[in-house]
Structure 1
């Protein structure tokens, strides 16, 4: 089932409680006026979800696994062989509107990528929360806050640097540039994390032949069987073990099951 809430209307600057967490198998999409996704998430388990973000004029970025969107404590990306735990001091959630806070991120790689690599690294970040926003979509209030992440020392570089909006109600972060384009919220279900990625790329719709291949493939019995197998194995493993620091790509059998759902392999041309 798909539920669409539209349009977004900025109403007041205020606070509101976050919504209840979506159930495993449910997704959320933030859509623009043309129904293309700007960002989205798929709930795998209580402590893990897959997050997708769109890029201007191209295919979306690689899926990332997180425990939460705003300064995640657990973060992993299969295609980068990246699996880490973050510990922040002080807690970024304590930063108030108009406040700039220096935060130290103590990151632990799980495990190190190389034999002699130091698994621990420390990064100082400067967090500024510039304001709060409350949107109304179909009668639902969606609370967000605008913030900036910078380096403490000049000349530093980190993929986290930039301006963002955190939609607290949905636990989704998107760029400050993309946030004004939000026109609707869509909620629905997918067969598994790989099916959510396929659905997301299909909805981005930047390469018509590729989109048609994905749409046709998703309707086949073989695809549905692969998606169900992935959810019962890969997603089930993540739901149980992600919080403890484990990912599926260290297991050859799980990696192959996940690869069988790779949309770029299913639609290579």
Structure 2
């Protein structure tokens, strides 16, 4: 019998992490998988966040166990049928959650910060997880007042790279669109290199058409295996991919990008596009690992 892997959520008691719990609870119900809430006890040292106090309990009682307890009660109020488990790990969150990702179907985290300005920046934990997790990682972004929009709303935006057919990023995106019953918006950004520009309008136009055609071909190749039941919209857009995708995220439920995983490589394994959208997206971002 095949083991059902849970969705793992990193919780630290902050409002951004609780919005991530909301998103993950809805996603767990959509997928029909368990939800595992994990608190790594050294989190506050790195992120500088403060737990959201349970208004029904004195602040001195809010400890590590209560952080996951508050999150679990929040899940049960939002999704009573969700199967929830909790754990407190006495270690650094980066190491603990990357290890947890080995046995997870999805790893979910929030942004850092306690204000709109702070949340424009991504914490070191979220960046590390996006760059090193063994399963897809979702960083839940959104307005501070949004307590977790249901993942069935909106559309799924896919950043199409040059990976060809049968890409795990494409598969993840269309499966998410199918679960939600929403369209898949596949976007391929393109730019005409500066060294190819010319003062001759006709030549410039011809070069632009060439690069746009190459983008269209890459788009069609990547989407060749998408099932017929997925409503798919294809778009090529001239501009920097980070800016194009940030604009596309404004009315989306989820933005999906890929991140290459180089065996035995050190440092952050995120490309410029993934790194950029994690800082600028208006909706949750799914980073799907891809082997080189």
Structure with more of its chain in helix, by fraction = 2
With the length of structure 2 as denominator, give the TM-score of the two structures.
0.27
Q: Select the structure of larger CA radius of gyration.
A: 2
**Greater strand fraction, Structure 1 or Structure 2:** 1
Bigger relative contact order (CA 8 A; separation at least 6): 1
Q: TM-score, normalised by structure 1?
A: 0.29
